[in-house]
Amino acid sequence: MRLLLIAGGYGSVARQYITSSTELINEEPLTLAEAIGYIAESPLRPDGVLITEEALTLAAERDRRDLESLVAGLAAILPAPVPVVVLTGDGWRPREWEGLLARCPQIRVEAGDYIRMTPGLLARGIELAASTPQRSAAKGKNSTSEPALPLNAAQHAGSRPTGEPAALRKSFLDRFRSKSKERHTLEPTDALTRELNRISRGISRVVAVTGHRGSGVTSTAVNLASEAGRRGLSALIVDLDMDYRSTNMYFGSFHETTKRDDDINASLIRTLARPQDFAATAYPIKENVWLTGLGYGFDDARLIGQFVTEARLTALLSLLRNRFNLIVLDLPLDLLGKYTEIMIHIDSFGLCVPNDLYSVLSTLRNVENKLPKEQAAYLNAKSKLVVTRYNDRSRFQGEMFTPDAVARVLTSGLMDRFTYEMKVAGHVPYSSEFDSQIESDVPLVYTSAHYERAYGNILLRLLEGTG
């Protein structure tokens, strides 16, 4: 199948999840407006079109007109309509485009449950783009559910490689995949090094990074562990997010290995079963940074239910805290309620909250809905605030919404279970580089001294504990 991918800046990420049975006809990233001219000039003809929200302007009427122009342009060069699939995190989009969807049955809008694109939604979009318009229409008007479709589920033969993996047969798509940047290790800043050396000798900490969906939980977990590794500390990332498994996106080598190695695909299950064998069950990211999680292709719900339990997590933390200086749990708030028994084994929580009122209220709503009163109070007492995607122009009640102000609002009594004063671990300024770490497979701490200092300070405060 030949696919026209209209995904804006998300295109280089989306390409990593497209299988060899799909041929992308466009090498360059396209917005919806740019795609109209592209199809008129390109000699290649698509069998399907996939559009993600990153290609839109977010002005509903303008996007509707551009989409209508795209469909008209396709009709002018193709003998028959082809599926045009739009993936969005906005559940109102089908209603805004109701008239256009009625006139053009080949357009299908798929709205996911989360703001960020998920692999399952992307897989669903590719499947629909490969179908005929008639088959798409027969399935119903527009779906708002996101099925759990594992990506890259095909099993790859062979045992786990040692050292550098053997070169795989290159496909047509390889030319479109972004090349990983060379990792230049930056020297830590002197002040941070002195403080970290002061507290890190023989240290052993379990830190859970949590927050509402889309608040930067996985990015924070990945960069904290990477920063610890850069400073000579041993670190283990435990990805407990069964829904997103986003560490696959941050560590491309892990993701690629899960596709050909069943053991690494089930790394979290095997590590929970035998934590003492972590050297064989976890994946080495760098010399002293390890990751255990699940590949996108692992879908055995029975094994997940059997092994991802509070008892086994407690055993893992008890055993491995003596093997690592730092264990980082990737544990979003909506999953924390499933593992309340392990909270007493966590030394500190890094609570990720962007500095806007929506994020503050979403955080408190998640805590209220997912945690009993005692556990919510415990989370409050053991947390330090990590302000992610910090926007220095954000305002609240006419004043700058600084990290300290975010902490005050969080604990101001908006929720009666969240009233203990909360210290700030630090903040991570937002920039265009923030999302590039997924595309380049390079955590932010390796890209500049600016981010090295930001995450270094956060790491220091979380290692100090909550006292």
The CATH number given to whatever domain includes residue 126 is: 3.40.50.1110
* Per-residue confidence (pLDDT) for residue 249, from 0 to 100: 94
Q: Give the domain-ending residue among 114, 138, 162.
A: 138
| Cα–Cα dist 320/275, whole Å | 7
**Tally of domains in the chain:** 2
458 and 384 inside one domain: yes
* Per-residue confidence (pLDDT) for residue 47, from 0 to 100: 94
77 and 197 inside one domain: no
Domain annotation covers residue 309: yes
197 and 70 inside one domain: no
322 and 197 inside one domain: yes
Burial of 360 (0-12, 13-18, 19+ CB in 10 A): buried
Q: Which amino acid is located at 168 in the chain?
A: L
- 272 in Cβ contact with 128 (< 8 Å): no
Provide the β-strand partners of residue 383.
349
Provide the β-strand partners of residue 208.
329, 349
Apex 54 CA angle, 59 and 92, nearest 5? 50
* Per-residue confidence (pLDDT) for residue 56, from 0 to 100: 85
Q: Give the domain-ending residue among 87, 117, 138.
A: 138
Q: What is the residue-level pLDDT of the chain in tens, covering all 467 positions? A: 899 999 987 777 788 778 888 899 998 889 999 998 899 888 889 999 999 988 887 677 888 899 999 999 999 999 999 999 999 877 777 877 888 999 999 999 998 765 556 778 888 889 899 886 543 333 333 444 433 333 333 333 333 444 444 344 444 334 444 444 444 444 444 567 777 777 666 789 999 999 999 999 999 999 999 999 988 899 999 999 999 999 999 999 999 999 999 999 999 999 999 999 999 999 999 889 999 999 999 999 999 999 999 999 999 999 999 899 999 999 999 999 999 999 999 999 999 999 999 999 999 999 999 999 999 999 999 999 999 989 988 999 999 999 999 999 999 999 988 999 999 999 998 877 777 888 788 899 988 888 999 999 999 999 987 65
| Cα–Cα dist 265/259, whole Å | 7
| Cα–Cα dist 180/440, whole Å | 5
Determine if residue 185 is left, alpha or beta; phi over 0 gives left, psi from -120 to 50 gives alpha, anything else beta: beta
Q: Which amino acid is located at 113 in the chain?
A: D
Three-state DSSP state, 386: strand
Domain annotation covers residue 263: yes
Element (H, E) at 225: helix 217-230
Domain annotation covers residue 153: no
Tokens at 181, concatenated: 């940047």
Q: Taking the alpha carbons of 399, 405, 410, 412 in that order, is the dihedral positive or negative?
A: negative
Domain annotation covers residue 149: no
Domain annotation covers residue 327: yes
131 and 186 inside one domain: no
Q: Taking the alpha carbons of 255, 258, 260, 261 in that order, is the dihedral positive or negative?
A: positive
322 and 236 inside one domain: yes
Q: Which amino acid is located at 67 in the chain?
A: L
What is this structure's pTM?
A: 0.61
Tokens at 282, concatenated: 């976890």
206 and 334 inside one domain: yes
| Residue 111 belongs to domain spanning | 2-138
* Per-residue confidence (pLDDT) for residue 13, from 0 to 100: 76
| Cα–Cα dist 284/274, whole Å | 17
DSSP state of 262: H
Q: Taking the alpha carbons of 31, 36, 39, 42 in that order, is the dihedral positive or negative?
A: negative
Task: Please identify which residue in the block is written with the tokens 């692992």.
Answer: 298
Q: Which residues have C-beta within 8 Å of that of residue 124, sequence separation ≥ 6? A: 87, 110, 146, 147, 149
- 224 in Cβ contact with 349 (< 8 Å): no
Domain annotation covers residue 47: yes
184 and 82 inside one domain: no
134 and 190 inside one domain: no
| Cα–Cα dist 79/56, whole Å | 27
Residue 185 sits in a domain whose CATH number is: 3.40.50.300
339 and 243 inside one domain: yes
Domain annotation covers residue 252: yes
108 and 8 inside one domain: yes
* Per-residue confidence (pLDDT) for residue 53, from 0 to 100: 82
| Cα–Cα dist 182/73, whole Å | 41
Domain annotation covers residue 172: no
Three-state DSSP state, 215: coil
* Per-residue confidence (pLDDT) for residue 174, from 0 to 100: 44
Which of 280, 263, 281, 264 lies closest to 272 in space, CA to CA?
A: 281
207 and 72 inside one domain: no
| Cα–Cα dist 418/376, whole Å | 7
- 212 in Cβ contact with 241 (< 8 Å): no
Three-state DSSP state, 88: strand
